[in-house]
Amino acid sequence: MAAERIETNTTSPTPRSANLRALLALVDGLFFTLLAGVVFLVVIHWLVVDLRVMPVTRARLVEVHEYLVDQAGQEPTGDLYFLGSSVLLEGVDCTVIDPALPEGTQSYNLALMGAGAPQWMLIADALRQTQPSWVIMTIDLTGVTGLQKIPEEGMAIAEYWNFFTPAAHDRFSKYFTPEQLAALDKSDLASLLDFRVFPIGAFDMYMREVSKPGLRYDGYTTNFKDPWVRKSRVSDVSTERWITDKVNKATAQDQQAMDEQIAMIDELIGWFADKDVRCAMVVAPVNPRLARAFGDAETERVMTQLAALAKRTATPLLDHRTLLSESDYADHVHPYEPGRIKWSQRLAADLGELVTRGHTSTEHATSEHTTRGDTTRGDTTRGDTTRGETTRGDTTRGDTTRGDTTRGDTFSESVPSETGPDTTGGGR
Amino acid sequence: MLFQTLDFGVLLAVVLVLIILLRTHSLQLFMLLAASYVFYMWWNPLYILLIVGSTLVDYVSGFRMGLREVGDPKRKKWLWFSVLTNLGLLGTFKYFNFFAGELNVGLQQLGVTAALPYLNVLLPVGISFYTFQSMSYTIDVYRGKTEAERSIVRFATYVAFFPQLVAGPILRSTDFLPQLRGKVINLKAANLRSGFHLFLNGLVKKMLVADQVGRLVDLIFDLPQGLPSPIIALGAFAFAIQIYADFSAYSDMAIGVARMMGFHIPANFRYPNFSRSISEFWTRWHISLSTWVRDYLYFPLGGSRKGIARTYINLLITMLLMGIWHGAGWNFFMYGLFNGVVMVIERATRWRTAIGDPDPWGMTLHGWAKARVFAVSAFKWLIFMYLRMLSCIFFRVQDTQDLIYSVKKYIFFDFDFTLGSWGLAQANPFLVAVITGAFILLHWFSYRVGGFAGWLDERPATVRWLIYFAAGFALFALWPSERVAYIYFQF
C-alpha cells in the first residue's frame, strides 16, 4: 500500500497568494477533463449525426421523420400509414395488406418501438404534411395504461432534427412536462450531450444481434413495409416473468396516464383532420395470458374510453383484442409468425373495406368483434367466411349495427345510412 | 447533495475560495460548519435539527463528563444519556416502523386487533453514520481516551464535516478533532492534486461502474422469481461489484475532498475483493464501521479473551449488529447472521489465518513457490467469492419470498443457461461486460501498485494528462442520464 502523502494543516497561516498559487495544481486536471468533453462532442457529432450510430429504436425515429419530410415535398399519394408500437412493428406485414387496398394505395408501417401517442406527436407534423389518405393508430392496451413518456434522448432528437415546427409546438406543448419542453429549447450542443448514450446502446444492440445468424435489425430502420421478424420465441417462464412485471408496475396512476394518452389521440385526430387525413383506431391483439393477468375490468375500462373517443370524433374503432391465441405470440405482447399472418390478414380485410368504401360516419364508432383465438379468418378475400361474432368488447354496437353475420360487412354494420360520403376523414 | 452534481462542484469551489479569503482558524471553522449544514440541508432542511440535536446532546454529555475524573459514577449517567439519545434517534427513524410492522403482523396472527401506529417519517440520510460518529466521541471521553471538547463549533464541525457526513467513513474524535484544533487550512498543491486524483478515481467508479452495473442488478433482483441460477449468480456477482464501486467511490471522494483541504481521513477500504476469507474481508471492507463495532461492542463483550464459546457468541452478536446497522429488514438480519456464522466456522477451522499476510498472492516470490502460493490463494479466493456473492444476495434482496427464491437458486444451481430469454437486454449487458472487465483489470492494477490515485500522484505530467483526458472522455460518454444516489445513503 502506497504511503499517503498529505501535508497536514499547521497553526500558522500562509499568505493568500500562496494559497491561490496552490489552486493552480487543479488547473491541468480540470483542463484536460474538459478538453476530453470537447473532443467527445466532436466525436459524438460524427458518430451520431453523420454516421447514425445509435440504437435502432432511435435511428428508426429519425428515419421515419426523414421519410415523412421527404414525402411532404411531393404530391399526396393517398397512402395509408400505420402508427403504433413494437407490437405493430412485429405484428403487421404491409405486403399482405396492400393487395386489399384500392389500386395505387400503399400501406406503410411507421411504428416506433415503445411508442404511444406522445411519440406519435413527435412525427405528427411531418406526417400531416405528407397528406396520406388514412392514418391507422394501432393501440396496445397495455401501452395505453402504462404511458411511456418521451425520454430525454427522444426529445433531444426532436430538437436536433427540428421535428417541432412552431405550429406543432403550440399544439402539443400542453402535453409535455416543463423538462420536456426545456429539452426542445436546448441548443444543438446540449442535445449532442444527450446523444452520448447512443453509440453505447448501438454497440450493445449490435453485439446482441451478431450472435445470431443474420442481423435481426439489419436494414430495418428504413424498412416501412416488411415486418420485423423475430428469430425465436422467448421462453414460457420468461413470458410469465414479463407479465408479472407488467402487472406489478400497473399503478393507480394508470388511469391518469390513459386519460392523457386518449386526450393526445383526440388531439392528433383533430390535427390530421384539418389536412383531410382520415384516422382509424385499431386496438391491437392482446396476449390472452396478459389479458387474464390484467383482468377484464382493466381492458373494458380502456375500451369504454376509446369507444367514447371514437364516437365523439366519428373515428372507426377496430377491436382486434381477442384475435390471437397464446401460441400466436413470441413473448408477452409481440405477435410471432402465425400471429403476424393472422393479424395482417384481418387488417387487410378490415382496412380494405374501410378504404375502399370510404368512411361516412359522423356519429359512430365501429367495433369489430372477434372470438378469442379466432383462427377462421386466415383469408385475404373478404366476405367469404363466417365471423363468429361475440359480444366481447362490444361497446358501441347497439345503436348502429346492421347485417352482422358475414364477414364482408365489417363496416357496413356501422355505417349509418343517413350520412353521405365522408370527405373530412373524421367529421371534426 | 451528491458529489457528482454541479451543486456540489459549486459548494466545493466556494469553500476553497473562502479558505483563501478567511485566514484565521476560527473563521474557517465557522465556514466549514456552515458549508456542512448547507450540504446536509440541500437534501432536507428540517432534518438538520436531528444533527444539531445529536451534536448538542453529545457535546453537553462530553463536557459534563470532562468536569469529573475518570471512574466517577456520574460520568456513566452522561454516557447513558448520550448513548440512549443517539440510539433513540436511530430507533425512531430507522427501526420503529419495521418493528411496528412485525409486531402488528404477530398480533394479528394471535387474533389481537390492536395495532401500533406507523410513523410517517423519512429516513434521514446518513443517520447511522453521524450518530455512530457522535457516540464514539462520548464513549471515548467516558473511557478517558480523549479529552472533552470545549468548543461547540469545533465539535459540531467534527460531527457534520461535509465530505463524509452522509456515507462515511465514520470518523473518530481521536483522529479528527486534533486536526481541527488551532490549525489554519492552507491550500497545498500536493494536497489539492492528490485529493483531485482520489475524487476522480471515485467519480469514475461511481459513474462508470456502479451506476452502469446497477441497472443490470436492478433488472435481476427487482423481480428475481422465475430466473434461473446463472442469472441469479450473475446478479450477485454484479451486485458485489456495484456495491464496492459505489461505496468505495463515495469514500474515495470524501477522503479526496478532505485532503484538498489538508485533512486526513483514514482509508475505509483495503481491496476487500482480494480477500481469501470472510474474516479477512471484514478487515478490509468498511473499515471505519468494522473497527467501530470491534472497539465499542466486540471488545467490551470480551472479544476473544473469554474462551472459545464466548468468542463465537461475541462474533455472532457483533456481526448481527453490523447487519442490522444497515437497515431494518430481515434480509439485513440474515446478512449479519450469515457473515457471523461463516466467521465462526472460519475461526473454528483456522481458515482465517490469511489475515495479515503481507504477500498473500505471492507477488514477491518466484518460480514454483509463487505458483504454489498463488494457487492456494486462488482456491481460497474462489470459496470466498462464492460466500461473498451469497451474502450479497442477502444484502440486496429485501422481499422475503424473493430472497428465499434467490438463495435457493444460488445454492441449488440449476445450470439453465438460456441467458438470452430473460429481458436483460435493457441493461446493456455487453456494455456491462466490457465495463466489468475493464474494472477488474484496473482494480488488479490498483492493488498491485498500492492504490491508483497514489500511483497517479507520482506520474509525470504527460501521463497524468493522458489519464485525465481518458477519464474525462469516458465520463462524458457514459455519464448516466438518471441521477443515482449512493447505496449507503439509505443507511
Q: Which residues of A touch B227 (CB under 8 A)?
A: 241
A391 touches chain B (CB under 8 A): no
CA distance B203 to B190: 20
Domain positions in chain B: 6-186, 191-276+360-490
Peptide bond into A76 cis (omega under 30): no
From A90-99, A223-232, B65-74, the region with the lowest mean pLDDT:
A223-232
Q: Could you write out the DSSP letters of every residue in B68-137?
A: S-TT-HHHHHHHHHHHHHHHHHHIIIIIHHHHHHHHHHHHHHTT----PPPP--PPPTTHHHHHHHHHHH
| Residue A33, in any domain of the structure | no
Residues in CB range of A356: below 8 A, 6 or more apart: A101, A102
A27 touches chain B (CB under 8 A): no
pLDDT at B229 over 90: yes
B32 touches chain A (CB under 8 A): no
Residue contact B464–A4, C-beta within 8 A: no
| Segment B85-129, tens digit of pLDDT | 999 999 998 888 888 888 888 888 888 877 788 888 888 888 999
Q: Report the pLDDT averaged over residues B181-193.
A: 93
| Number of domain units in chain A | 1
| Residue A156, in any domain of the structure | no
pLDDT at A92: 94
pLDDT at B322 over 50: yes
Residue contact B473–A244, C-beta within 8 A: no
pLDDT at A382: 33
Cα dihedral A346/A351/A356/A361 (nearest 10): 120
Helix, strand, or coil (residue B204): helix
**Residue B433 pLDDT class (50, 70, 90 cuts):** very high
Residues in CB range of B311: below 8 A, 6 or more apart: B302, B303, B304, B347
Q: What percent of chain A has pLDDT over 90?
A: 36
CA distance B232 to B424: 12
Q: Which three cell numbers stand for residue B83?
A: 448513548
Residue contact B470–A36, C-beta within 8 A: yes
Residues in CB range of B159: below 8 A, 6 or more apart: B51, B54, B55, B58, B130, B133, B134, B137
Measured in whole angstroms, how far is the alpha carbon of residue B475 from the centre of its chain? Answer: 23
Total residue length of chain B:
491
Min Cα–Cα distance to chain B from A201, Å: 7
Helix, strand, or coil (residue B197): helix
Which residue, B387, B384, B391, is CA-closest to B335?
B391
| Segment B343-371, tens digit of pLDDT | 999 999 887 666 677 788 888 888 898 99
For the four alpha carbons of A97, A101, A107 and A109, in that order, the dihedral sign comes to negative
Min Cα–Cα distance to chain B from A143, Å: 17
CA distance A165 to A162: 7
**Residue A376 pLDDT class (50, 70, 90 cuts):** very low
- Amino acid at site B98: F
pLDDT at A404: 32
pLDDT at B410 over 60: yes
Residues 427-486, chain B, touching A (beta carbon < 8 A):
428-431, 449-451, 454-455, 457, 461, 464-465, 468-473, 475-479, 481
CA distance B419 to A216: 18
pLDDT at A391 over 60: no
Residues 158-217, chain B, touching A (beta carbon < 8 A):
179, 182-194, 196-197, 200
Q: Which three cell numbers stand for residue B268?
A: 475505509
For residues B300 and B332, the answer to whether their CB atoms sit within 8 Å is no
Mean pLDDT of all residues belonging to chain B: 92
Min Cα–Cα distance to chain B from A153, Å: 9
In A73-115, DSSP assigns E strands to 80-83, 107-109
pLDDT at A169: 85
Helix, strand, or coil (residue B22): coil
Residues 179-218, chain A, touching B (beta carbon < 8 A):
193-194, 196-197, 199-201, 203-205, 207-208
pLDDT at A212 over 80: no
CA distance A391 to A369: 7
pLDDT at A416 over 60: no
Mutate which: A5, A8, A9, vs B, most B CBs within 10 A: A9
CA distance A148 to A150: 6
Q: What percent of chain B has pLDDT over 90?
A: 73
pLDDT at A143: 67
Residue matched to cell numbers 400505420: A82
Q: What percent of chain B has pLDDT over 70?
A: 98
Residue contact A204–B425, C-beta within 8 A: yes
Buried b (16+ CB within 10 A) or exposed e, B442-457: ebeebbeeebbbbbbb
Rounded to the nearest 5°, which phi and psi values hold at A319? -100, 100
Which residues constitute the domain of residue A287? 76-151+171-178+224-414
DSSP helix, strand, coil percent of chain A (3-state; round to 5): 55, 5, 40
> What residues of B are labeled active site?
326
pLDDT at A363: 35
Q: Which three cell numbers stand for residue B98?
A: 419495521
Measured in whole angstroms, how far is the alpha carbon of residue B149 from the centre of its chain? Answer: 27
Angle separating helix axes B127-143 and B173-180, nearest 10 degrees: 90
**Residue A371 pLDDT class (50, 70, 90 cuts):** very low
pLDDT at B420: 65
For residues B360 and B354, the answer to whether their CB atoms sit within 8 Å is yes
Residues in CB range of A317: below 8 A, 6 or more apart: A280, A281, A282, A283, A306, A307, A310, A365, A366, A367, A368, A396
Residue contact A25–B192, C-beta within 8 A: yes
CATH number at residue A120: 3.40.50.1110
Which residue, B187, B71, B362, is CA-closest to A14?
B187
Nearest to A8 among B24, B225, B264 (CB): B264
Closest-CA residue in chain B for A38? B473
Rounded to the nearest 5°, which phi and psi values hold at A324? -110, 155
State ipTM: 0.84
| Residue A191, in any domain of the structure | no
| Segment B238-257, tens digit of pLDDT | 999 999 999 999 999 999 99
Nearest to B451 among A2, A151, A197 (CB): A2
For residues B418 and B267, the model is more confident at: B267
pLDDT at A265: 93
CA distance A289 to B159: 56
Measured in whole angstroms, how far is the alpha carbon of residue B14 from the centre of its chain? Answer: 27
Helix, strand, or coil (residue A80): strand
Residue contact B477–A40, C-beta within 8 A: yes
Residue matched to cell numbers 460466500: B387
CA distance B269 to B264: 15
Mean pLDDT of all residues belonging to chain A: 77
B6 touches chain A (CB under 8 A): no
Angle separating helix axes B152-160 and B127-143, nearest 10 degrees: 130
Q: Report the pLDDT averaged over residues B65-93.
A: 91
From A159-173, A316-330, A346-360, the region with the lowest mean pLDDT:
A346-360
- Amino acid at site A416: P
| Segment A287-345, tens digit of pLDDT | 998 888 877 777 788 888 899 999 999 999 999 999 999 999 988 889 999 999 999 99
CA distance B164 to B166: 6
From A98-112, A227-241, B138-152, B234-248, the region with the lowest mean pLDDT:
A227-241
| Segment A26-68, tens digit of pLDDT | 999 999 999 999 999 999 999 999 998 988 888 999 999 999 9
Residue B240: half-sphere exposure toward Cβ, Cα within 13 Å: 21
Q: Report the pLDDT averaged over residues B151-169.
A: 94
B358 touches chain A (CB under 8 A): no
pLDDT at A197: 85
**Residue A213 pLDDT class (50, 70, 90 cuts):** low
Angle separating helix axes B461-478 and A27-44, nearest 10 degrees: 50
pLDDT at A311: 93
Cα dihedral A360/A364/A370/A375 (nearest 10): 20
A74 touches chain B (CB under 8 A): no
pLDDT at A216: 66
B386 touches chain A (CB under 8 A): no
Which residue, B62, B39, B59, B40, is CA-closest to B49?
B40
| Residue A238, in any domain of the structure | yes
CA distance A91 to A243: 19
**Residue B403 pLDDT class (50, 70, 90 cuts):** very high
